Amino acid sequence: MRLRSGADFAADFEKACRNQDLTWRIARADAVIPVERNEVMIPDFTLRDTNDPLGRKVYLEIVGFWTPEYLSRKIAKVREAKLDNLILAVSKKLALSDSVADELNVLWFKGRLLVQDVIERTESGLQG
């Protein structure tokens, strides 16, 4: 059995979104966020609230597979982006401390990231 990559989790989420009647429009990797050190972050998804006249948007980054180095770089990049409208969806299999999870607005998932869990988080004001 092969290990699932982050791209696998993102593809599963994108496919699941197609089968839902959502008030959020979901686009894959369409935002470029500047971070420190002249780098950028490209979140896996941008969710736009179609009912909001101001076009509220939320970014979603999915972390399902990791090496310690990858997870460390991902956490650093999310911190540097300084976004309060970013959800970091993290597999419960990953060794991430509760303090880091609280700081970074982590949405835990087991197995598959559920669309409804992401929508509930976006509509609840992104509180962990």
- Bridge partners (DSSP) of residue 68 are none
The answer to whether residue 23 sits within a structural domain is yes
Residue 37 φ/ψ region, left for φ over 0, alpha for ψ in the -120 to 50 degree band, beta for the rest: left
* Reported pTM: 0.84
DSSP calls for 22-58: -SEEEEES---EEETTTEEE--SEEEEETT-TT--EE
- Residue-number span of the structural domain to which 20 is assigned: 6-119
Residues in Cβ contact with 3 at an 8 Å cutoff, skipping those fewer than 6 apart: 65
The CATH number covering residue 51 comes to 3.40.1350
**Residue-by-residue pLDDT tens, the chain, 128 positions:** 445 555 777 888 888 788 777 888 889 999 999 998 788 999 999 999 999 898 889 999 998 767 778 888 888 899 999 999 999 998 888 777 777 888 888 898 888 888 999 999 988 865 44
The answer to whether residue 110 sits within a structural domain is yes
